[in-house]
Amino acid sequence: MSDFLRKEYSAEYFGPRIRVAVIIFIAGAAIFLARLWQLQLIEGESYIEMAKNNRVRMVRLPASRGRILDCNGRTLAEDNPSFTFSIVPGEIENPRDMLEPCSAILGIPQEKMRGLIERSKTVPRFMNYPIKKNMTLEEVSLMKSRFMSSKGVLLEVKPLRLYPGGETLCHVIGTMGEVSAQELPRAAKLGYRTGDLLGKSGIEKEYETYLRGEEGWEEVEIDAKGRQLGHRSRKAPRAGADIELTIDYDLQKYSEEIFIHRAGSIVAVDPDSGRILAMVSKPGYDLNLFSPSITDRQWKRLRNDPLHPLENRSVRGLYSPASAFKIITATAALHEKLIRPDQKFNCAGKLELAGQAFRCWNHNGHGPIAFRRAIVESCDIYFYELGRLLGADKIAHYAALFGLGKPTGLGLPHELPGLIPSPAWKGRTYGDSWKDGETLNFAIGQGYLVATPIQLAMMTAAVANRGKLFKPSIVRRIRSRDEGIVFDHEPVVRWTIPVDSNALDMVRSAMTAVVSTSRGTGRRALIPGIKIAAKTGTSQVIRDKQLMIESEQIPYHERTHAIFVAYVDDKPKKIALVVMVEHGGAGGISAAPIARKIIARYYSMPDRGESQE
Amino acid sequence: MDFIPLKSNLPHSGKFEWPIIMISMILSGIGLCLVYSATVPFGEAGRLYVMRQITWCSLGLVLAPVLLIFDYELLDHWALRLYIIIIVALILVWATGRVTYGSKRWMQMGLMRFQPSEFAKLAVIIILAKYLQTTPGNASTQLMDVLRPLALAILPAFLVLLQPDLGTACVITLISFSMIVFAGVGKRLLLWTGIGLLALIPIAMFLSDHLLMSYQRRRLFSFLNPSYDPLGSGYHLLQSQIAIGSGGLLGKGFLQGTQNQLMFLPVKHTDFIFAILAEEWGFVGCAVVLFLFLGLFLRGMTIAGKARDNFGTLLAFGCTVSFFWHVTINVAMVMGLLPVVGVPLSFLSYGGSALLASFLAVSILANVAMRRSAY
């Protein structure tokens, strides 16, 4: 509540105090004016001199960016010094004298040189205007000796990012680029300035703060000619930390080499830890194109390429898992005790439901078929029956238990979650009711269901380690030069899949037979001496079309995707992998051999080719 | 008790409070020119700063007159609520800032000034004005009567200090101290409190000398003063003096300051903006600005003297003295008379929330001025 004292009383009380305050204010102003008088008028001359000869400059010392290494310390990305020749337009004495020697040494036509000097006048007079970037060492030494004593020119050393692997692991490593106008407001608060580079994709982006380090300062004393005399004080830049990936470069390179198809993905993971051994996405691109910066033409070519080389299919490719999904359907049915392993269903090549025909890939039918053979020969009718028994909601439930429908949390940018359909979902999204036939398609991994290769790899890994769904990781360690190991990966289990271990074992046993028996769809992956468990998948691209013509006659974009998931778990080092060949045809034909080669390579065994046809 | 005493009062005193408003407009206009000049060397990024400053300025210029519709007695009702909101905001900012700093160890806090701290000053002024309005006439000699209002101020000041923002914390403390002294405190009590506080300083220094290692002390100090004197060699100070001194009588002219354009002063568009003023507009420019500020102070005190009630007097005084401390500390720092602390120069420094808070203070002053003879 305001206290209503009489105005006169307040004036009496406050009056003197106000006077005191006023005196203090005026005194303060007087002191400042006196000091200013001293600095500006009495000592002004000497300061003007000092400003003119201001010999001390604060120079930013960029920090060297951390490297990106594979699990064995092999360099995948690192900085190399790159030289830029710049002029300071406000300080240059005789621009015309420079034309000829610059042009001769740097190989710039004189006209262009003249144009550059003209344009340099548009920037603030005391800023560096670059004339030529990425000079060769020869150019550097020639320029240095010629212009050593000239004012207004300087040689700047900037780091250039190099990628020894070229295209290898390009999507995971990622690219760098200049800070964009949109990023600048937030980035400026973190110390970035216009023209600075930062990671734009992949690990370069995700771990930018670690890789970047911290820039330093230096007080540099320069003479009247602009030469550096020495430095007064210095805050050393702190180098960025090195990121060690879980990737094995040899395995990665090999996998990329043997993937001869146009597009697709391979993800290989260690099922006991979730660490990614290899991650291939084809087509790719040469990372060195982006360093120092990509030309407009090349960028347009990459962007407009219909196969989308810039996309990391391993985390962003959405595919129907097709028969690979049968692993989940089978586990679900057994765990729910809806069938017995010896229970037979009859596969006659097709099944009628609500007036529609649902076919098996084997048009003649498998005949009476039970659990093991249904997996080994990938009978669709058997799994339609499982689907009817389970119902769409249960299938969706188990799909989620195996990690589908949500991002794996790998830590690469823009991972997609895929989609697990369900009656509720369909109602929400399309306002339409779920049809029974869609449950059948769901059970064999088709329909609305889509997953990314990394999700399928983690699913396979969970089967390999008998039920633990790991969080995948691609970074093994982060090591700083000053502080040692800053991050060390510990495997993280997202959850243990709550299914009966007997059920899982039966599925696992059947998956082994997929490769080892003569009628198994995965027989082309057989390597004598290694026990491989696998499941093939052939993912329909055009719905409801059962094509009977030869696969070569089908147009590329209508061909099915070839999928192969596999694992080896009876050796000290284990592996789980998924091979996805876009529009590759049949999983057992196109994808299986690739998996075989990779597994053979991983265990250092010779690949004797396909022993069975 | 009506919540919003929108008394049917357009001010009864009849006269619109032009002086304060004009001074603040002129000063912010000068500020825009200076910020522009200071950020030109930044290239593309520089324009962002000016645009932002213009935006905040416009917002302030619109908000200030609009708030005049409400009687300032509204602040009396809302004092506690505003205070609590600010405390909560400060805690939130400290908590989230902590988490990011902890998990991403190397992410710089940068030059962020979290907004609540600027408005904390106003909240402290308002609540102290409310608390102290009954003291005139009850000349107190109780220590508690000093400590209680001081505690009200110390809490937000401490939270601000944690951010870290040494400068604003100091200003909040100084403002509260000034207000307590102004409102009335027995002379002896004042003396003892003053001695007590001064005694704390050597104790703190002694403790830090002996309990912390030298590198920890350095880290603590640079933690509190993140961007200044990064090389610890007095470089910043020297460059600032060169900038001021070389301005001479008339300055080097708009955009012609070599210290400015050559980037010898790394962080000049915020706290060292006065150096830009001195270099480019000389002694004359500085004197003009100082006189404008002096005009602001004197007018503020006049308003305080003619307020209709104690609450108004204290509000007016608080706002005036807030400007006073900002200007004094900032200019003294730039001229090398005080060590470097991060205190912006009202209306001139780049900084949206400080600018907005300044306009709000101006609005309060105008409010008190225009309602002085409501009774």
* Residue-wise pLDDT tens digits, B318-347: 999 999 999 998 998 888 777 767 788 999
In a domain, B286, yes or no: yes
User: Hey, what are B78's tokens?
Assistant: 């809302």
User: Hey, what are B353's tokens?
Assistant: 């929330």
Mean pLDDT, rounded, for A150-160: 77
CA distance B243 to B279: 5
Mean pLDDT, rounded, for B223-234: 48
Closest CA to A445 of A557, A337, A351, A329: A329
3-class secondary structure, B310? helix
Q: pLDDT > 90: what percent of chain B?
A: 16
Task: Scan residues 239-258 of B and list those with Cβ closer than 8 Å to A.
Answer: 239, 241-249, 258
CATH number of A57-245: 3.90.1310.10
Q: pLDDT > 70: what percent of chain B?
A: 67
In a domain, B308, yes or no: yes
For residue B198, pLDDT over 90 is answered with: no
List CB contacts of A320: < 8 A, sequence separation 6 or more.
A445, A446, A447, A449, A450, A451, A539, A540, A561
B104 confidence band (pLDDT: 50, 70, 90): very low
Looking at residue A265, what is its pLDDT? 96
Mean pLDDT, rounded, for A500-512: 94
Looking at residue A104, what is its pLDDT? 80
CA distance A572 to A529: 14
In a domain, B297, yes or no: yes
Looking at residue B233, what is its pLDDT? 46
3-class secondary structure, A265? strand
Measured between CB atoms, does B309 come within 8 Å of chain A? Answer: yes
Looking at residue A372, what is its pLDDT? 93
CA atoms within 13 A on the CB side of A314: 32
> Which of B42, B286, B307 is the closest to A36 by Cβ?
B286
> Which of B41, B231, B261 is the closest to A219 by Cβ?
B231
Check B301 against A22: CB less than 8 A apart: yes
Task: Scan residues 213-242 of B and list those with Cβ closer than 8 Å to A.
Answer: 230-233, 235, 239, 241-242
CA distance A396 to A373: 24
Long-range contacts of A106-109, Cβ-Cβ distance < 8 Å, separation of 24 or more: A106/A131, A106/A132, A106/A135, A106/A139, A106/A143, A108/A132
B214 confidence band (pLDDT: 50, 70, 90): low
A565 confidence band (pLDDT: 50, 70, 90): very high
List CB contacts of A348: < 8 A, sequence separation 6 or more.
A365, A381
Rounded to 10 deg, the angle between the A44-52 and B235-245 helix axes is: 120
For residue B235, pLDDT over 70 is answered with: no
Looking at residue A22, what is its pLDDT? 85
User: Hey, what are B3's tokens?
Assistant: 């919540």
User: Hey, what are A149's tokens?
Assistant: 């004593």
In a domain, B375, yes or no: no
Biggest CA pair distance of chain A = 111
Number of domains composing chain B: 1
> Which of A51, A189, A209 is the closest to B111 by Cβ?
A189
User: Hey, what are A175's tokens?
Assistant: 């690219």
Interface probe with B: pick from A12, A18, A22, most Cβ of B within 10 Å: A18
Judging contacts by C-beta atoms under 8 Å, the chain B residues touching residue A193 are 42-43, 45
Secondary structure tally for chain B: helices H, strands E? 13, 0
Mean pLDDT, rounded, for B9-30: 78
Task: Identify which has the larger pLDDT, A511 or A38.
Answer: A511
- Which pLDDT tens digit goes with each residue over A410-439? 989 899 999 999 999 999 999 989 998 999
What range does the domain containing B272 cover?
Answer: 18-97+113-370
Q: How many residues does chain A have?
A: 613
The CA–CA distances, whole Å, from A506 to A252, A502, A511, B231 equal 32, 6, 9, 69
> Which of A7, A33, A50 is the closest to B308 by Cβ?
A7
For residue B274, pLDDT over 80 is answered with: yes
Mean pLDDT, rounded, for A42-55: 70
* HEC sequence for A321-353: CHHHHHHHHHHHHHHCCCCCCCCCEEECCEEEE
Looking at residue B347, what is its pLDDT? 92
Q: Which of A323, A378, A473, A590 is catalytic?
A: A323
Query: Pairing state of beta strands A242-245 and A68-69?
Result: parallel
> Which of B261, B294, B324 is the closest to A124 by Cβ?
B261
Most confident of A310-324, B233-247, B256-270, B333-347: A310-324
Looking at residue B163, what is its pLDDT? 66
Q: Which CATH number fits domain A249-298+312-602: 3.30.70.920, 3.40.710.10, 3.60.21.10, 3.40.50.620?
A: 3.40.710.10
Looking at residue A277, what is its pLDDT? 96
Check B332 against A32: CB less than 8 A apart: yes
For residue B99, pLDDT over 60 is answered with: no
CA closest to B129 among chain A residues? A2
Looking at residue A322, what is its pLDDT? 92
Tell me the sheet residues that pair with A281: A265
Judging contacts by C-beta atoms under 8 Å, the chain B residues touching residue A33 are 286-287, 290
Q: Residue A63: enclosing H or E segment and its boundaries?
A: none
For residue B186, pLDDT over 80 is answered with: no
The CA–CA distances, whole Å, from B363 to B82, B300, B366 equal 17, 11, 5
The CA–CA distances, whole Å, from A461 to A271, A374, A590, A605 equal 5, 22, 22, 22
CA atoms within 13 A on the CB side of B118: 21
- Which pLDDT tens digit goes with each residue over A217-229? 777 766 544 556 6
Looking at residue A1, what is its pLDDT? 37
Rounded to 10 deg, the angle between the B310-334 and B115-132 helix axes is: 140
List CB contacts of A78: < 8 A, sequence separation 6 or more.
A65, A67, A68, A161, A162, A164
For residue A481, pLDDT over 90 is answered with: no
Mean pLDDT, rounded, for A276-290: 93
Looking at residue B1, what is its pLDDT? 39
The CA–CA distances, whole Å, from A83 to A61, A157, A373 equal 15, 5, 66
In a domain, B278, yes or no: yes
Task: Identify which has the larger pLDDT, A113 or A309.
Answer: A309
Lowest mean pLDDT among A13-22, A452-461, A492-501: A13-22
Looking at residue B295, what is its pLDDT? 93
Mean pLDDT, rounded, for A575-580: 96
Q: How far is the alpha carbon of B231 from chain A, nearest alpha carbon, in Å?
A: 6
Q: Do the beta carbons of residue A527 and residue A547 sit within 8 Å?
A: no
Closest CA to B227 of B112, B335, B331, B107: B112
List CB contacts of A4: < 8 A, sequence separation 6 or more.
B309, B375
CA closest to A239 among chain B residues? B106
Looking at residue B218, what is its pLDDT? 54
Q: Do the beta carbons of residue A167 and residue A257 sit within 8 Å?
A: no
B216 confidence band (pLDDT: 50, 70, 90): low
Measured between CB atoms, does B2 come within 8 Å of chain A? Answer: no
Check A14 against B304: CB less than 8 A apart: yes
List CB contacts of B283: < 8 A, sequence separation 6 or more.
A36, A37, A40, A41, B247, B248, B249, B250, B251
Task: Identify which has the larger pLDDT, B279 or A233.
Answer: B279
Rounded to 10 deg, the angle between the B166-183 and A7-36 helix axes is: 140
Closest CA to B139 of B174, B190, B176, B175: B190
Kindly list the strands in the beta sheet with A56-61, ordered across the sheet, starting from the edge strand earlier in the chain. A56-61, A216-222, A228-235
Burial of A545 (C-beta count, 10 Å sphere; 0-12/13-18/19+) = exposed
Judging contacts by C-beta atoms under 8 Å, the chain A residues touching residue B249 are 40-41, 44
> Which of B48, B259, B282 is the closest to A51 by Cβ?
B259
User: Hey, what are A599's tokens?
Assistant: 């597994």
Judging contacts by C-beta atoms under 8 Å, the chain A residues touching residue B309 are 2-5, 10
For residue A571, pLDDT over 60 is answered with: yes
Mean pLDDT, rounded, for B259-270: 61
Judging contacts by C-beta atoms under 8 Å, the chain A residues touching residue B232 are 233
The CA–CA distances, whole Å, from A5 to B77, B256, B286 equal 18, 55, 41
Judging contacts by C-beta atoms under 8 Å, the chain A residues touching residue B290 are 29, 32-33
Query: What are the φ and ψ backbone dihedral angles of A290, each rounded to 5 degrees?
Result: -85, 0
The DSSP annotation for B275-292 comes to HHHHHHHHHHHHHHHHHH
The total of other beta-carbon atoms located within 10 Å of residue B74's CB is 16
Instruction: Catalogue the E-assigned strands of B247-347.
Output: none
CA distance A192 to A179: 8
Q: Tell me if residue A323 is catalytic.
A: yes
Lowest mean pLDDT among A92-101, A104-113, A255-264, A530-539: A92-101
User: Would you say the C-alpha torsion A360, A362, A367, A369 has a positive or negative sign?
Assistant: negative
- Which pLDDT tens digit goes with each residue over A371-381? 999 999 999 99
Mean pLDDT, rounded, for A121-147: 75
In a domain, B356, yes or no: yes
For residue A523, pLDDT over 80 is answered with: yes
The total of other beta-carbon atoms located within 10 Å of residue B110's CB is 15
Looking at residue B234, what is its pLDDT? 58
User: Hey, what are A89's tokens?
Assistant: 């337009």
Model confidence, pTM: 0.61
For residue A5, pLDDT over 90 is answered with: no
Task: Identify which has the larger pLDDT, A285 or B211.
Answer: A285
B108 confidence band (pLDDT: 50, 70, 90): very low
For residue A504, pLDDT over 50 is answered with: yes
Region label for A228, one of left (φ > 0), alpha (ψ between -120 and 50) or beta (otherwise): beta
Q: How far is the alpha carbon of A11 from chain B, nearest alpha carbon, in Å?
A: 6
CA distance A164 to A182: 31
